[in-house]
Structure 1
């Protein structure tokens, strides 16, 4: 049996060698579309649905196709992270090439109530993979690195989340505790605020909210921010209210929401990826203390699960 401590760090090292997902442009569209104006959404949806066709259009042609203006097309390109429309066209051509080569999966249909279970498995697997790829493509590595550095040296780490996000928060707290850090997840909004009041510079507060507008999560983060703690937001909406009180914002993406798959379910996939990235980064920076602590937790759990011999 291999060393579990080394295995977890080897997995982290291997993940960093993965090249960026080819669908980075589509990921940006899915992430940013909710915050766009309706006219900009039409441009974004057009380039995501037909990258090859749009790559062949001039700025005037795309404006005509989407019933918008040239200025709207340029603004959309810049919001998606490109200096101008020419750069967006090059990205569209690259995305189209990936799709034509078969390296970019086709978008599957929503899950319906009469789908065979085999189709449900296939569609969920595709959506989960797409969510992970989109989150990885859109994650700001400089923001992640800064959040890792703060958490690695923190006196205490508080994590806030409600609903499905609270489960992600508990997962992160449990991971951090196992490498010897003081971390607590708070799902109760009253306890979250009363604990946030105790934070100070040198502490870290992490808020997890897909919508970016969950009041029960924003309030404790605001309190922590005002107390001087370093604050981090893990959210699907980088422009949401939670970002006002976050020193660092880690953006997630989600698969498409459907009647049988609500946002709370799909958002959890991206959040768990960000949490794992954050944890591995902290564990790497604190390896000298993290490795013995993790090994001790494995040993303690192994002893607990070993059947005890009773003597008569």
Structure 2
């Protein structure tokens, strides 16, 4: 039986227009150069696009009307008119503080740096939570609950997220390992079998060190999961289940940094959902791991106090 892909569609639900700008940002890398010109206008000034006729938008962007229509359809709309209506609704629901430019600049005082970084990270969390699909998250949790072995693959900042996911799942009794080295990741993937789960973490969804282990694990029958900013990426195409993170890239916040906080949110949601799904085994594992760490710390403090007395 063919594997069912659960890659998120870029269409925006009519009852959630506030997700539109987030959806556009997520698929931006997969659009044509002309399509990206329209998408950037939508991201930067959705209200302006909503006010513009297709003729006006074509003149403002330097892109043909046919390309505008194709971009609207790529987002899941029947045409430009429907996209304009959704943008108008998204602009109306957008929080006022989000309309204030927040990109970090070289001359920003530290007070502004703190405020802008905090706002960017809180927005990344809010955007990720708003578009995190409950059904897809539930499917990932179900697969993990039944997994024989879990491997998590990521490099750079995504490698830190992979390590965080592995230690969390280990704390609740799953056999889980994080791999930030492609050779070791491929070694683990070559030994994967049906019932195992392989998770790939990549902001761009194009990192070869993550793609190849996930491809190998999938070929060996493992269930594959992607955590990525780009739902149209090669990583997403390899995954049975895709969880989309959100993070806006700027000069001082490259994509990997911008998405890290939202990837960690997804990992936390998976962890808590899995603990709920398996309360007896998770609870017992958490108690056992906490007890052994507490005992180790208590013994270490005792040894330290004894050394000070001598």
TM-score band, normalised by shorter chain? 0.7 to 0.9
Distance 2:125 2:16 in 1: 10
Whether 1:161 and 2:154 are equivalent positions in the alignment is: yes
| Equivalence for 1:4 | none
Aligned with residue 175 of structure 1, among 168, 177, 185: 168
Whether 1:279 and 2:274 are equivalent positions in the alignment is: no
| Alignment CA distance shift 1:245-1:54 (3 Å) | closer
Runs of 4+ in 1 over 4 A off after TM superposition: 309-312
Distance 2:260 2:116 in 1: 17
- State the Cα deviation string for residues 17-37 of structure 1 (Å, max 9, x = none): xxx987412212221222212
The runs of 5 or more residues in structure 1 that have no matched partner are 1-19
Task: Give the deviation of 1:104 after TM superposition.
Answer: 5.1
Distance 1:36 1:107 in 2: 27
Q: Is contact 2:17-2:87 (8 Å) kept?
A: no
Task: Give the deviation of 1:98 after TM superposition.
Answer: 2.5
Whether 1:124 and 2:117 are equivalent positions in the alignment is: yes
| Alignment CA distance shift 1:108-1:189 (3 Å) | same
Distance 2:237 2:38 in 1: 28
| Equivalence for 1:300 | 292
Aligned with residue 99 of structure 2, among 100, 106, 109: 106
1:176 partner SS: helix
Distance 2:27 2:78 in 1: 16
| Alignment CA distance shift 1:262-1:61 (3 Å) | closer
Distance 1:243 1:61 in 2: 35
Aligned with residue 47 of structure 1, among 42, 45, 49: 42
| Equivalence for 1:224 | 217
Q: Is contact 1:200-1:228 (8 Å) kept?
A: yes
Whether 1:70 and 2:62 are equivalent positions in the alignment is: no
Whether 1:290 and 2:282 are equivalent positions in the alignment is: yes
The runs of 5 or more residues in structure 2 that have no matched partner are 1-14
Q: Is contact 2:102-2:120 (8 Å) kept?
A: no
1:127-146 maps to which residues of 2 (within 5 A)?
127-146=120-139
Distance 2:167 2:145 in 1: 15
1:105 partner SS: helix
Aligned with residue 74 of structure 2, among 70, 73, 79: 79
Q: Is contact 1:21-1:136 (8 Å) kept?
A: no
Over aligned residue pairs, what C-alpha RMSD do you find? 2.3
The number of equivalent residue pairs is 290
Q: Is contact 1:21-1:133 (8 Å) kept?
A: no
Aligned with residue 92 of structure 1, among 87, 94, 106: 87
- State the Cα deviation string for residues 138-164 of structure 1 (Å, max 9, x = none): 434333221111111101101111111
Task: Report the TM-score, using the length of structure 1 for normalisation.
Answer: 0.84
Distance 2:113 2:227 in 1: 28
Distance 1:132 1:124 in 2: 12
